[in-house]
C-alpha cells in the first residue's frame, strides 16, 4: 500500500503538534513507521488520505461498537447542532441519558457526566477519598485509568514499596499515595492493605484489563477484592471506560455479578464524542458538589452534542440486547480462526478474550498480569502489525492493546482478516 499523502501530512503535523499527534499511541512509536491519516470511515471500514481501505479493529479505541458513522448517532448530533452547541446551563437531554444509563447499569443511582475517561477516573478517586476520608489508593500494574497524575505510576522495586512516577512531572508526593498491586494476585493486594492499615480509600481496577492486551480477572479475584474492600472500609472502583456498555448492557458488574461502589465510563457512552462519566449509589454521589463537599466541574460537561451522541448510542444498545451476543459470537469466530492459523504455522502465541475484547500475544505462557503481558515478542508483533496493515487490516499499533470488535463487521470481513493473518504469518 502507498501512504504518500499520509507521510506528507504527518511531516506537516510534526512541525506544529508534538510528535504530530494529539495522543501518543497514534504515533506508531511502538511499531515503527509513520501513522496513517484517516479521511473518513463508515461501518467497519476506515479510508485513509491515500484512498486505502482498512478493516478497522481499533474503532476509535472502543466507542464505535456499532460501526463508524452509525446513522442514528450521526442524525442525533446533526439535529442537535442546529439548535446550539453549548449553553453552560442544564438541558433535558442530560437527564434523559442519565436515566437510561442508571436503568442499564446495576448498583448505581446517580451519574455525573464529564468529558473523558481520564476525568471520570480522576474524579472517582477524589470522590472516594472525600467519602472515606483516606488518601491512599491501590491500582494495578498494567491497568490504565487515563493520564492524571495519581495513575501514572509503575512498579518500582517491588509491589509492596511505594510507586515510582513513570512520567516526569508527577511528583513524589502524588506517587507515594498510589500503591501498586499485581493484577490477579489477591495475596499481594491483601499485603498492601495490611501494610497501610486505615490509610487506603479505594481500589481502582479494570474489571477486565484492556490496556496490557486483554487480561481477564481470574475466577474469584473480583469477589475477593469486593470482600477486602468491605472488610477494610474501602471503596471498590470499577474503571469500565472500556468494558462499560461493551461486555453487557450493565458492563462487567453485570457480566461477573460483582457490585462496585463507583463505576467509571467513557468510550461507548459518548458514541464517539468526548464523554466520560462516573456513577455510584446515592450515599456516595451526594458527596459531590453542589450537594456535598467534593468539588468537580466542567464548562463543557454534559455538552448537548456529546449527550445526543451518547443517548442515541445507549438507546440502540438498550433496545437491541442481541448485539452483545452477536459481538461475542463474532469475536469467538475470529479467535478460533486466528488460533487455528497460528497453530498450523507453529507461531508461539496466547490469545486472550472476554466478550468482544481480544488480544493476540506472541508468547505461549499464560498472560495474567503486566509481567506476563510484557513477555510477548515485540519484534514479531511489529512485523505482524505492518503485515496486517499491508493486507488492509488496521489493528492497534501496540502489543499492549485490545482489539475492539464492532458489530459492523461481517463474517466476510472476519474471514478476510483470518486470511490476512495466514498470509502474514507465513513471512514471520
Ligand X SMILES: *Cc1c(COP(=O)(O)O)cnc(C)c1O
In 141-216 the beta strands, taken as DSSP E runs, fall at 153-154, 164-165, 178-181, 200-205
In terms of CB distance, is 94 or 239 closer to ligand X? 239
Closest residue to ligand X: CB criterion: 117
Which one, 68 or 349, has the nearer CB to ligand X?
68
Listed residue (287, 305, 304) closest to 296, CA to CA:
287
Angle between helices 92-104 and 304-319 (to 10 degrees): 30
Where is 112: in which H helix or E strand? strand 110-114
Q: For ligand X, what does the binding mask look like between residues 236 and 255, x meaning CB under 6 A?
A: ---x-xx-------------
Minimum CB separation of residue 356 from ligand X in Å reads: 14
Strands 178-181 and 262-265: unpaired
206 binds ligand X (CB under 6 A): yes
The CA distance from 106 to 326, in Å, is 22
The interface region with ligand X, picked from 206-214, 245-253, 279-287, 330-338 by CB under 6 A, is 206-214
Measured from the CB atom, is 118 or 352 closer to ligand X? 118
Beta bridge partners of 18: none
What does the DSSP 8-state code read for residue 191? Answer: H
> Which residues fall within 8 angstroms of residue 2, CB to CB, at 6 or more apart?
50, 52
Residue 24 or 32 having the CB closest to ligand X: 24
Nearest to ligand X of 3, 144 (CB atom): 144
Range 235-264 burial, b when 16+ CB lie within 10 A, else e: bbbbbbbbbbbbbbbbbbbbbbebbbbbbb
3-state secondary structure of 382: helix
Of 195 and 297, the one with the shorter C-beta distance to ligand X is 297
The residue to which cell 498470509 is assigned: 423
Residues from 107 through 166 that contact ligand X (CB under 6 A)? 116-118, 121, 144-146
Closest CB 17 distance from ligand X, rounded Å: 17
Minimum distance between the CB of residue 23 and ligand X, rounded to whole angstroms? 7
Residues 6 or more apart in contact with residue 44 via CB below 8 angstroms:
55, 56, 67, 68, 406, 408, 409, 410, 413
CA dist 180 and 140 (Å) reads: 5
The residues annotated with a catalytic role in the active site are 144, 239, 267
- By CB under 6 A, name the one of 142, 207, 266, 355 that touches ligand X: 266
Interactions with ligand X, residue window 322-361 (CB under 6 A): none
Min separation Cβ 230 and ligand X, Å: 23
Footprint of ligand X (CB under 6 A): 116-118, 121, 144-146, 206, 210-211, 239, 241-242, 266, 276
Amino acid at each position: 500500500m502507498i501512504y504518500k499523502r499520509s507521510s506528507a501530512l504527518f511531516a506537516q503535523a510534526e512541525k506544529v503538534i508534538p510528535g504530530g499527534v494529539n495522543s501518543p499511541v497514534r504515533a506508531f512509536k511502538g511499531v515503527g513507521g509513520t501513522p496513517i491519516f484517516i479521511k473518513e470511515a463508515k461501518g467497519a471500514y476506515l479510508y485513509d488520505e491515500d484512498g486505502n481501505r482498512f478493516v478497522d479493529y481499533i474503532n476509535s479505541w472502543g466507542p464505535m461498537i456499532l460501526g463508524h458513522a452509525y446513522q442514528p448517532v450521526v442524525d442525533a448530533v446533526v439535529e442537535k447542532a442546529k439548535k446550539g452547541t453549548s449553553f453552560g446551563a442544564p438541558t433535558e437531554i442530560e437527564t434523559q441519558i442519565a436515566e437510561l444509563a442508571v436503568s442499564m447499569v446495576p448498583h448505581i443511582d446517580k451519574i455525573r457526566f464529564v468529558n473523558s475517561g481520564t476525568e471520570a477516573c480522576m474524579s472517582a478517586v477524589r470522590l472516594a477519598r472525600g467519602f472515606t476520608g483516606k488518601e491512599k489508593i491501590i491500582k494495578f500494574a498494567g491497568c490504565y485509568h487515563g493520564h492524571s497524575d495519581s495513575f501514572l505510576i509503575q512498579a518500582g522495586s517491588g509491589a509492596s514499596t511505594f510507586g515510582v512516577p513513570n512520567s516526569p512531572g508527577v511528583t513524589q508526593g502524588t506517587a507515594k499515595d498510589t500503591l501498586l498491586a499485581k493484577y490477579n494476585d489477591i495475596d499481594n493486594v491483601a499485603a498492601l492493605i495490611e501494610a497501610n492499615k486505615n490509610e487506603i480509600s479505594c481500589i481502582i481496577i479494570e474489571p477486565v484489563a484492556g490496556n496490557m492486551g486483554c487480561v481477564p480477572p481470574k475466577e474469584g479475584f473480583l469477589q475477593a477484592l469486593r470482600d477486602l474492600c468491605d472488610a477494610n472500609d474501602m471503596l471498590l472502583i470499577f474503571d469500565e471506560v472500556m468494558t462499560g456498555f461493551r461486555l453487557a448492557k450493565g458492563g462487567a458488574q453485570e457480566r461477573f455479578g460483582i457490585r462496585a461502589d463507583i463505576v467509571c465510563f467513557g468510550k461507548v457512552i459518548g458514541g464517539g464524542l468526548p464523554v466520560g462519566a462516573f456513577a455510584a449509589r446515592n450515599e456516595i454521589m451526594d458527596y459531590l458538589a453542589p450537594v456535598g463537599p467534593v468539588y468537580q466541574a466542567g464548562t463543557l460537561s454534559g455538552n448537548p452534542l456529546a449527550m445526543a451522541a451518547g443517548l442515541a448510542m445507549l438507546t440502540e444498545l438498550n433496545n437491541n440486547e442481541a448485539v452483545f451476543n452477536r459481538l461475542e459470537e463474532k469475536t469467538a469466530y475470529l479467535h478460533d480462526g486466528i488460533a487455528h492459523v497460528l497453530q498450523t504455522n507453529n507461531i508461539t502465541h496466547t490469545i486472550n478474550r472476554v466478550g468482544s475484547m481480544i488480544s493476540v500475544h506472541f508468547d505461549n505462557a499464560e498472560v495474567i498480569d503486566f509481567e506476563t503481558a510484557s513477555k510477548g515478542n515485540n519484534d514479531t508483533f511489529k512485523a505482524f502489525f505492518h503485515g496486517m496493515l499491508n493486507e488492509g487490516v488496521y489493528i492497534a499499533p501496540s502489543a499492549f492493546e485490545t482489539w475492539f470488535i464492532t458489530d459492523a463487521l461481517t463474517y466476510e470481513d472476519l474471514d478476510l482478516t483470518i486470511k490476512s493473518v495466514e498470509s502474514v504469518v507465513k513471512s514471520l
